[in-house]
Structure 1
Amino acid sequence: MNKILLCSASLMALLLSPALLAQTSLSSALEQCRTEQNALKRLVCYDEIKTPNAPVAATPAASGRSAEAKATRPAGNNDFGLEHKKTDDTADKVSAIVSKITYSPRKEMIIEFDNGQVWRQTASGTYPIKVGERHFIKRGMLGAFYLGNDNNNRTLKVKRED
């Protein structure tokens, strides 16, 4: 009975001693950092303290494995949220010569170009334009289109009619 009691007591002491030692070394390290007057040195001191239950930082090998795991995911959701960033072969700017200008009942310009496209003014304001001039339609953000030319700095928001 004494042998079992002695073995269990020594086993318990062996198991508890690293935890107690780590706890006392942690508290002494914290106290040492607390006494540091320089703020930067105190911060560095706290950063250098190793706690026994702290998570291990990811190693480059581990991050490589996670990249491989991401690469093996199904390809169905890879483009989710990036649809608007896809580039396609559509032009960002089209130039044409104005062939006809008419006005709607609300005094919006309706511009017909020599390539057959018809565009309607959607924003308020005036824009200097004449039949026979070369103008361009450029693509804007969120599906907007702007009418402009190289001779002035102004643009006018338009939408395609046909």
Structure 2
Amino acid sequence: MTSRFTHGLRWITLSSLLLSLHAVADIEEQLAQCAAKTDKLERLICYDTLAAQAMNRAAKQVSTDVNEVPTHTAEVAASQTETAQTTLTESAQENFGKVVKQEQIDAMWLTVKQVDKDPYGTLKFSFENGQQWKQIDSRRFRVSSGDKVQIERAALGSFLLGKEGSNTTIRVKRIN
């Protein structure tokens, strides 16, 4: 009885191995075809289609293998799949809400190119480097073209704009 089981398991393993080798060769060929496409959108669609086909094949292979293997092997495969899904969920939960830290600067000096007021009296700044910022609070602030100003990070992701030689600041946000 045991030899029949191991003999059948060997054939299942061998056939799965041969099918997977053929699938790998086929996927490599399709990847090369996708990589040869010059249009970015067509290449992306090709890769997406290939990924969907691979997922469908994997799902069909798992369902076929589960039907062919003895019951206790199917239970082991199901528990391994459940463990993998639990690990993925835990990883997603650990990373939920994290902000990817990038290189940040805390402050920068800019030269004002133009200052405008909108209909509500808030200031809009254009700087020589092409950036545009606008005032988001209602404080009075005097600045004119050619002035050097500093924009620095403040609490909770906000920014403060201050003029050289002055202690007054206003809250601003970037608009371009």
TM-score range relative to shorter protein:
0.3 to 0.5
Scaled by the length of structure 1, what TM-score is found? 0.48
The structure with the larger Rg is 1
Structure showing the higher helix proportion among its residues: 2
Scaled by the length of structure 2, what TM-score is found? 0.44
